[in-house]
Structure 1
Amino acid sequence: MSHTSSIALITGANKGIGFAIARQLGARGHMVWLGCRDMSRGEVAALSLRGEGIDARAVELNVTQDASVTNAAKTIERAVGCLDVLVNNAGLMLGEPTSLARESIDEMKQMFDTNVFGVLRVTQAFLPLLRKSGAARIVMMSSGLSSLTDALDMRSETWGVGFGGYCASKTALNMLTVKLAKELDREGIKVNAVDPGLTSTDMTGNGPGHSADDGARPAVALATMHAFGPSAGLFACSSAGELVPRNW
């Protein structure tokens, strides 16, 4: 099916950074699909974007459930036939454990199921649609806390941060990003990860940090970059809005 505007799917898009990414891509002319676990919240978010003149639709999508992901892929395939951008934004961070020595394995499994296996589950399901695009882009929502280099650097702002299970899940996601980028390079599909920076959202308890709009910028930049842009990288945004490479 031919299409004139680019089509994007953003997981976890009914609020926070995901919603901001959808709004910014929509403002650039993309049709945006908001992947949401709760369809009623997704419909409210999509309606809000349509009120701003954005072509937005909600699709039920729970990244931890095979059937939900498969059904979402079928829904989007029936509606539009292909996909140009996939932003794997849905993520889970549970409360900070007192130490890794006592961290709940069950909670770590939940975070890995969303942050690692859920991302791959969605990517695998939508690859057939992405392959129908002339220049598909896959963006992974990583974290500055994922960096092994920074975790070992006493001068880094992340040196004293805990969250062992969450950090490990994002480090694992980084490896999948690199492996996918290498695998898909010859097909012209670019795969990158982003560090949104400390962002004030529900997941961070709406504490310190910049706005979701600022946190969305690196993902939007990578989702819309030209054919000579990077792949297999981890990027943040500078204060001027330019992509800045981060340490793996």
Structure 2
Amino acid sequence: MSEQKIALVTGANKGIGYEIAAGLGALGYRVGVGARDAARREIAVEKLSAAGLDVFGVPLDVTDDRNVTAAAELVERQAGRLDVLVNNAGVSGEVGPGWVQDPTTLDLDMVRAVVETNVIGVIRVTNAMLPLLRRSASPRIVNVSSSVASLTLQADPDVEIGPVMAAYAPTKTFLNAVTVQYARQLAGTNILINAACPGLVATDFTGFQAPRTPEQGAAIAIRLATLPDGGPTGSFFEDAGVIPW
């Protein structure tokens, strides 16, 4: 019998992250449920456990160096290695009417906060977990991005890409660029890293005003987390295939 695989999902207490954890758990993975809020994390772990899944809670604030280091130590104690890291935690930042973030009136502290979570937080967590990922036979990293990250789509007047989001959208473009840099640096290793677009999903992030369910949104991340050896790396995917940069 093959050894049980270990996954860590950030922002896994609700929404897409919760469904990614549930989906990987249903495939037989032991899943670390990463979340900042202790009460919500505990509730998520209880629900997933009640569904028969093998999960454990991981206190994880992606913006805090010491917290992330402690999370890596916890995963090491719990499992000794990591096969899958899904960087799902993210924030939009304050939005105005119509979900618009007007670049001409942006609060710079808000922009910094969104970058800290959506980009620097991913780097912080990834680097903390890399020693554990290197112990895996087939390590996978998935960065949850968005189609609003695509400069090609954003710049095309014939494509409906949603409202102007001058803080959030560029952080996802930044995240995609970081994903490519990791793929270049890790070329020749067995680590595959890709960006995933879940689509427009009905969660509290979107005010539940979206056509896709969290389970549907989780599907592409789960697929990239379970890629076979020799699969793609350094790419940007949605359910239908590759998204242009």
Residue aligned with 1:185, SS: coil
Q: Which amino acid aligns with 1:235?
A: F
1:185 to 187, 194, 199: 187
2:117 to 110, 114, 122: 114
> Conserved in 2, the CA contact under 8 Å of 1:43 and 1:57?
no
> Conserved in 2, the CA contact under 8 Å of 1:192 and 1:231?
yes
CA distance in 2, matches of 1:94, 1:209: 22
CA distance in 2, matches of 1:236, 1:83: 24
In the other structure, the counterpart of 2:237 is 235
CA distance in 1, matches of 2:113, 2:37: 18
CA distance in 2, matches of 1:176, 1:209: 29
Residue aligned with 1:203, SS: helix
Q: Which amino acid aligns with 2:27?
A: R
In the other structure, the counterpart of 1:207 is 209
CA shift, 1:78, in A, is 1.2
In the other structure, the counterpart of 2:242 is 245
TM-score (norm 1): 0.94
Identity %: 43
Q: Which amino acid aligns with 1:245?
A: V
Q: Which amino acid aligns with 2:242?
A: P
Q: Which amino acid aligns with 1:17?
A: I
Q: Which amino acid aligns with 1:41?
A: R
Q: Which amino acid aligns with 1:52?
A: A
Q: Which amino acid aligns with 2:24?
A: L
User: Structure 1, unaligned stretches of length 5 or more?
Assistant: 239-243
1:77-126 per-position Cα deviation (integer Å, ceiling 9, x unaligned): 11211000000000000232452000111111110000000000000000
1:124 to 123, 127, 140: 127
Residue aligned with 1:206, SS: coil
In the other structure, the counterpart of 2:227 is 225
1:25-63 per-position Cα deviation (integer Å, ceiling 9, x unaligned): 000000000001012211110111111110011110000
> Conserved in 2, the CA contact under 8 Å of 1:39 and 1:59?
no
Residue aligned with 2:187, SS: helix
CA distance in 2, matches of 1:155, 1:206: 26
Q: Which amino acid aligns with 2:55?
A: A
In the other structure, the counterpart of 1:162 is 164
Q: Which amino acid aligns with 2:103?
A: L
> Conserved in 2, the CA contact under 8 Å of 1:86 and 1:137?
yes
> Conserved in 1, the CA contact under 8 Å of 2:94 and 2:110?
no
> Conserved in 1, the CA contact under 8 Å of 2:93 and 2:167?
no
Alignment of 1:47-196 (within 5 A): 47-97=46-96, 99-158=102-161, 161-196=163-198
Residue aligned with 1:116, SS: helix
Q: Which amino acid aligns with 1:110?
A: A
Q: Which amino acid aligns with 1:202?
A: D
TM-score (norm 2): 0.96
- Count of matched residue pairs: 240
1:174-232 per-position Cα deviation (integer Å, ceiling 9, x unaligned): 01000001111211100000111000111111112210000000000000010121100
In the other structure, the counterpart of 1:241 is none
Deviates more, 1:15-24 or 1:90-99: 90-99
> Conserved in 2, the CA contact under 8 Å of 1:200 and 1:206?
yes
1:120-155 per-position Cα deviation (integer Å, ceiling 9, x unaligned): 000000000000001100000100000000011111
> Conserved in 2, the CA contact under 8 Å of 1:20 and 1:216?
yes
